Amino acid sequence: MQTKGRGDKTVITNRKARHDYFVVDCFEAGMVLKGSEVKSIRDGKANLQDAYARIIDNEVFLFGMHVLPYEYAHSEKPDPLRVRKLLLHRKQILELDRATEEQGITLIPLRVFFVEGRVKIDLAIARGKAHYDKRQTLAARDAKREAERAMKGLRD
């Protein structure tokens, strides 16, 4: 039974992630949160800018995700930068662990979204980009934008 307005909804995206990293593979993971944190995330009051994940004792943890305390919470407000546990299958954790053993590979969050009222996170295996790769990506994006403008001019 799905209630109205509770479908897939992206709330927070890490826009800088695809600029700074080549995304190799992506996994959907659940997140262990406190009640007031869920409401704060639903309002879009979270930041993935400096967030990353690590595997510690066969468990995946998210570091550096900032979630503002929910202003209407009656109970204690959790630390905004606390370490949050991610929920994945054992096989996925082993795959992530094998991937991160390689030099230059890291785990970064791409977006936070809701699926049927539950908070999920897209966790990516990523390789860092060099400075010239970032310039190349910007140049390709600008060229694509110019081509779209030219095509739009022809259609009008």
Residue-range domains of the chain with CATH: 9-129 (2.40.280.10)
Q: Which of 69, 66, 20, 19 is nearest to 47 (CA)?
A: 66
The model's pTM is 0.77
* Backbone φ, ψ for residue 153 (5° rounding): -65, -35
* CA angle centred on 52, ends 51 and 56, rounded to 5°: 135
**pLDDT in the model for residue 3:** 45
**CA 63 – CA 85 distance, rounded (Å):** 9
**pLDDT, tens only, 7-55:** 567 888 888 888 788 889 999 999 998 878 888 888 888 899 889 999 9
- Better pLDDT: 145 or 74: 145
Q: Which of 120, 127, 86 is nearest to 105 (CA)?
A: 127
